[in-house]
Amino acid sequence: MSEVILNSSNFEQEVLKSDIPVFVDFWATWCGPCRMVAPHVAKLAETFAGQVKVCKLDVDEAPEVAGAFGVSSIPTMVMFKNGEAVATRVGAANPAVLEAFVKQAL
């Protein structure tokens, strides 16, 4: 399963109304650390296929969504469960750290 690209129109349906936990990577094209973690985020989509929906939201394209969740620095990763943000991590991370972040929210 690949990552779901989020925007202001599909955020509620894809994230808040999801019946499985959702990992959201708040990022931007100009952000170096965001580009560094992108392959690790893509791997999470494979590793947790069927268990966790992995999504990406470009903060430049949906600033109102990023603002609603207090995202002021990127990359920021947020785990959502039952429509609620249950965990947040700011900054680039290696694959093991990202995997542990997802697992602790399952």
Which positions are catalytic?
31, 34
| Cα–Cα distance measured from residue 92 to residue 97, given in angstroms and rounded to the nearest whole number | 10
| Cα–Cα distance measured from residue 20 to residue 26, given in angstroms and rounded to the nearest whole number | 19
**What are the Cα distances from residue 75, in Å, to 1, 13, 29, 70, 96?**
22, 22, 11, 12, 16
